[in-house]
Amino acid sequence: MKIIKYLLFACMTVSFWSCKQAPYNTFEDINIIQFGPAPADLYNSDRQLRNRVKAHTFVYEPEDKLQDTVYFDVYALGGKKNKDRFFKIEQEAVPDVENAVPGVHYQSFDKEGGALCVIKANTVHTQLPVVLLRDESLKKNTVVLKFKLQANEEFVLGEKEKLWREVSYTDQLSKPDGWTANVSRYYLGDYSAEKHRFMIKVTQQRWDEQMIVEAVPQTDLMMYYKAVLNAALIKYNNESTTGPLRDENRQLIVFPR
């Protein structure tokens, strides 16, 4: 009996660790669809909910660039199949914001975009391309596109918190995702569009998502930028005939010292 109990315990332990190490390879008897992190973060428990919300701006692009694409990772749980499997996406309205309009602000998921909602044969992962359209209204407004997965004949739905994604976008300057609370605290202060424009003018850098992600790990570089920006702000305020620099909300623009 002791031997049997030991074997049972060993089997349960192996099963537990297998599920823990490979959460996206279980559920072999059922096909589940859900969003997830980038493949490199797939088994990092701290990054399972990364990139649920993204921000995008057309402001740096040439005027003749009329659309752009953002990508979200989608996973099929239940193993590979030897056929293409289509999944369904549907927009969900967000209260108290300007919601994106299909055909005006983004390529509809029900028409041309529907062909892109597919898990290819013999794979369990895809990057869903969401095509954003550069409508004239974006020069004055920011729109929000929230969308969620829908069950269909191919898939049932996975974990609740992994069934939706959201992107907000504009043709104006907007806060990059990399401008985090720590970046605000140690280097740049609170975000505002007017501060963003000032930083671009002073440093001749975009201060977009890519630039911030590359610069923030370089402490010496960020300290250099902070010193340059503080010096430029002091100079501007001393020479200004209309008072110190303020943002679009009439708040004083400051950088951490």
pTM of the model: 0.70
- Which domains are seen in the chain, by residue range? 22-170 (2.60.40.2030), 181-239 (no CATH)
User: What share of residues in the chain are helix, strand, coil (percent, to 5)?
Assistant: 35, 25, 40
Residues 6+ apart with CB under 8 A from 12: none
pLDDT for the residue 110 = 81
pLDDT for the residue 1 = 53
- Residue 91 pairs in a beta bridge with 147
pLDDT for the residue 244 = 96
pLDDT for the residue 23 = 52
| pLDDT less than 70: residues of the chain | 1-29, 111-114
Amino acid at residue number 73 = D
Residues 6+ apart with CB under 8 A from 46: none
pLDDT for the residue 50 = 80
pLDDT for the residue 111 = 63
Task: For residue 129, give the 3-state DSSP assignment.
Answer: strand
pLDDT for the residue 24 = 52
Outline where the chain has alpha helix (H). Answer: 2-21, 181-183, 193-203, 209-215, 219-239
pLDDT for the residue 18 = 45
Residues 6+ apart with CB under 8 A from 181: none
Instruction: State residue 70 phi and psi, 5-degree precision.
Output: -115, 155
222 phi-psi bin (left φ>0, alpha ψ -120 to 50, beta other)? alpha
Give the residue from 163, 169, 138 showing the smallest Cα distance to 54: 169
